[in-house]
Structure 1
Amino acid sequence: MTADPTPQKRALRAELRERRRNLTQTERTEAADGLTAGLVALVERLGVRTLSCYLSTVDEPNTRPFVNWAREQGLRVLFPITRADGLLDWTTATDQDEEVVGLFGMPEAVGELLGPIAINEADLILVPAAAVDSGGMRLGWGRGYYDKTLGSMERCPPVYGVLFDSELLDEVPAERHDQRVDGVVTPARTVEFAARDRHHRRI
C-alpha cells in the first residue's frame, strides 16, 4: 500500500461503479430479493427496534424492499440527510413515496430533521459501501460522512455494510480516518468480522 492511497481509492471506486452499471435488470432483481432476506434475518436475530438505513440509488444494492418491510413491522427507521458542514442529519420519514435529491445527487427521505445525535438511538446502522475487505475495512464513496459519524460515536451499535457479492475483497486501500464495519450483508450471505475497536452498545 502506498503512503497516499487516494489514487488507489479513486481507481477502485471507478471500477466498482462501472461494474454496478453493467448489471442486468434480472441480476438486480435477484440481488434485491437475496439482500432483503439477509437484512430481515439480521434485524430479527439482533432484536432491532430502531435502525438506520439509506435510500439506495438505481445502481446500488436495493434497500427499498427491506425499508418497506421494516416499516410494516413497526420498526423505527432513521434516514440520513447530508449537510454542507460534513455531518449527517437524520429523519424518520413517514411517507415512503416522498423523496428529494440531496447535496450530492443521492435520494433522501423527507421528514422532520432530528439532528446528528439521533443516530445514537439506533440499534443497528446499515451503511453504503463501494467495497469492504476481509478485515472489515470499508471503502466508501469519498465524501467521508459515515466515517465522521461512526468515528465520533462514543458507544456504537453494530455497523453492517451493504454490498453486492463481488464487492467483498481481500483488501481495500485505507487511510487513518477510515472506519471498519462489524459485518456485511450481500445478496448471498452475511459475513461478520472480529470485534472492532469501537465501544459497542448491547441491544
Structure 2
Amino acid sequence: MAPQARAEAGRALRDALLPVPEVEMAGTIAAYVSIDPEPDTRGLLFALWKRGTYVLLPRLLPDGDLDWASYEGPDSLAPGPRGCLEPTEPPRGPGAVASADVVLTPAVAVDGTGVRLGRGGGSYDRALARVGPAILTVALVYDDELLPAVPAEPHDRRVRAVATPSRGLVRLDRPGRT
C-alpha cells in the first residue's frame, strides 16, 4: 500500500471514529500502532491522547500474548518485535485490556458477522477473550477488507464493529444476538 493511501485511510478512520459516542465517552481505549500495509493509526492515537483519553497499546510477549502499556505521545514508542512500535511505559499486564471502554484491533479482513482474520498468531483472540460482552470492539480495515465471509476457527473472537475509510463505523450482525 502506498504511503499516501495509508495516510488517507488513517485520516478517514480517525475522522469517522472520534465522534462515535462510545469513543467520545471512553476513559480508556485499547488500540495499536499500525504497521505497513495497515491503515495508519498514528493520527488517531495522537488525537485520542490529546483529548485526554487514556490509550493502552500492546506489547508482544514471547508466548504471543499481548501485554499493555500506556501511550504517552509519539515519543513514547520504540521498536518492538515483528516490526511493531511499542509503548516504552511500564507494562500493565495482559489483563489491562479488560479495563478498556473500547478496543480497536488490526485485521487482514473482517466479515459481516465480526469474524476477523488476523496475522495468524492468535494474540488478539486472546486479548478479545478478556473483554466484556458490552465493550465496543472494532477492527480497522480498508474498504475492500470487509468481506462477505472469512474463515473461522473455534478460538476466533468476533469484533462487534468494523471501521472502513469510506463507510466509517459499521456495527455488525452477530449470530445469536437479538
Deviation at 1:94, TM superposition (A): 1.8
Aligned-partner Cα distance in 2 for 1:45–1:127 = 14
TM-score (norm 1): 0.79
Counterpart of 2:110, as a letter, is V
Q: Which runs of 5+ in 2 are unaligned?
A: none
The structure 2 residue matched to 1:191, chosen from 153, 158, 170, is 170
User: Aligned pair 1:129/2:129, yes or no?
Assistant: no
Q: Which runs of 5+ in 1 are unaligned?
A: 1-22, 199-203
Q: Taking structure 1 as reference, are residues 133 and 195 closer, same or farther at Cα in structure 2, changes over 3 Å only?
A: closer
More strand by share: 2
SS at match of 1:41: coil
Superposed, which structure 2 residues align to 1:27-66 within 5 Å?
Answer: 27-42=5-20, 47-66=25-44
Which residue number in structure 2 is paired with residue 89 of structure 1?
A: 67
Superposed, which structure 2 residues align to 1:1-203 within 5 Å?
Answer: 23-42=1-20, 47-153=25-131, 157-189=135-167, 190-195=169-174
> Per-residue CA shift, 1:14-50, capped at 9, x if unaligned?
xxxxxxxxx3343233212211111212256662111
Q: Taking structure 1 as reference, are residues 34 and 95 closer, same or farther at Cα in structure 2, changes over 3 Å only?
A: closer
SS at match of 2:110: strand
Q: Taking structure 1 as reference, are residues 181 and 98 closer, same or farther at Cα in structure 2, changes over 3 Å only?
A: same
Max Rg structure: 1
- How many corresponding residue pairs? 176
